[in-house]
Chain A
Amino acid sequence: MYYYVVESVSGGVKSREIQRVKLLLGELGILGEFALASPARSVEELAVMGLEKGFTTIVAIGGGRTVNKVASAIQGHAIAFGIIPLAKDSTLHTLIGTSDIKSACEALKFRRLQSQNLLLIEPNKYLLTGASVHFTKAYSIELEMGEFIVGGPTTDIYFTNGVQTRVLNRFAGPNVIARTYNWLTGHSVPTFAESIFHTPRVRFVTPANAPVIAENEIIAKTPIVVRVKRDALQLIVAKHKQF
């Protein structure tokens, strides 16, 4: 009982890819109902319809945006969630332990399930992929992370669903002259510009109104509260995937 949700397709290449997916699924004997998003029916609405129809496996076909939308709609339900990434170099392949469309379809057939955390941007944005905030110059930030507060000049902040927050200052380190001297003399001076923290909840306090980005889309603006929802999904992963 497979239900496939596909983001609206434009262009011949994607249409051909979806036809190929259908062929592969047919060969594997797991061809189910296909629901194609349109201006009238969003990806989230289609995913909810799949739940209402009683499907036990809902599969998102497409990129990170489609996957996040379907994951958001079905999180917390006792069903299996599958992914068929259309881009070959997609990080989604790494997540499910596949390398191309064919191996992703085969993973669906074997149905090896893995409990998966989701990143939650409060109140209701659930993400399977990460989220990030970027500044063109170093801003003084303030992040409340449970028992401690982190501050300092920062250019990039990355949130992952593995309860990890990375804080980076691209411009940290020696000045241009010192960098040139080091480059000419072959010296390598570590800058330790990156910080890594593991907390289940982060409150991003300042600066305000900074865009929060997931899959090249602005999904929120600061201040935000980022949490990890543990075991929110039963994700179908490749048979050979190592943990």
Chain B
Amino acid sequence: MQKPIPGPGTVVGANVRLNGVIKDVNDIAVHGHVEGEVISDKNVLIGETAVVKGPVSGQIVTVSGTIRGSVEAHIKLELLPTARLYGGITTKELIIRSGALFNGKSAMTADEKGEEDKDSKSRDTGEDQGKTEEQPKELEYEREA
């Protein structure tokens, strides 16, 4: 697999069709059509004219276009009013604006430090005896404005 190149960021223009894996250590903005993975070490913006068929991953993911695939936002996922998301999401913080469409499962991951504190408290109080691993909270949405 190719090593990502440092630079000011990747932009996929509105007139562009892209097939394959886009990976960047900086921000990625998609305004065109992408069939494949979109992976950034920083933030990802899926613009209003964008259509992405494949998984999207980044620190903060902001969506105002269409995604057919899973989204993993390590910090925050925001679905703006024009967003159309068909697929599962994993994030710590989720914002869905009025008008956005989201069909899929969401898994909310808690802060690691918070989890550790919670685990140690559970051990101290003797709660969760016999549990080997804590499962993330799972919510299911199906709404259309």
Residues of A at the B interface (CB closer than 8 Å) are 138, 146-154, 162-164, 167-169, 172, 191-200
Interchain nearest-CB distance for A118 vs B (Å): 16
Q: B interface, how many residues as a size bin? A: 20 to 34
Interface of A is mostly: strand
**Interface stretch (choices B4-12, B97-105, B124-132):** B4-12
Q: Give the complex CA separation of A147 and B34 in angstroms.
A: 13
Closest 10 CB pairs of A and B: A148-B20, A195-B13, A192-B31, A198-B7, A192-B14, A198-B5, A152-B16, A147-B21, A196-B11, A169-B15
Q: Which residues does chain A contribute within 8 Å of B19, judged by CB atoms?
A: 148-149, 151
Q: Give the complex CA separation of A200 and B2 in angstroms.
A: 9
Q: Is the CB of B1 within 8 A of A164?
A: no
Q: Is the CB of B14 within 8 A of A196?
A: no
A-B contact count (CB 8 A): 76
Q: Give the complex CA separation of A167 and B10 in angstroms.
A: 11
Residues of B at the A interface (CB closer than 8 Å) are 1-2, 4-24, 31-32, 36, 47, 49
Evaluate whether A197 and B14 lie within 8 angstroms (CB atoms) in the complex, with A147-B21, A148-B21, A192-B47 already known. Answer: no
Q: Which residues does chain B contribute within 8 Å of A192, judged by CB atoms?
A: 11, 13-14, 31-32, 47, 49
Q: Give the complex CA separation of A162 and B49 in angstroms.
A: 28
In the complex formed, the residue of A with least CB distance to B48 is A192
Interchain nearest-CB distance for A182 vs B (Å): 16
Q: Is the CB of B23 within 8 A of A147?
A: yes
Q: Is the CB of A151 within 8 A of B17?
A: yes
Known contacts A148-B36, A152-B17, A168-B13; 6 further A-B pairs (Cβ under 8 A): A151-B17, A163-B5, A169-B15, A192-B47, A194-B13, A199-B5
A-B contact pairs, 16 of them (CB 8 A): A147-B2, A147-B23, A149-B18, A150-B16, A164-B7, A169-B15, A172-B15, A192-B13, A192-B14, A192-B47, A193-B14, A194-B11, A195-B12, A195-B13, A196-B11, A198-B5
Q: Give the complex CA separation of A200 and B4 in angstroms.
A: 10
Q: Which residues does chain A contribute within 8 Å of B8, judged by CB atoms?
A: 196
Q: Which residues does chain A contribute within 8 Å of B17, judged by CB atoms?
A: 150-152
Q: Give the complex CA separation of A191 and B1 in angstroms.
A: 33
Q: Is the CB of A154 within 8 A of B15?
A: yes
Interchain nearest-CB distance for B71 vs A (Å): 19
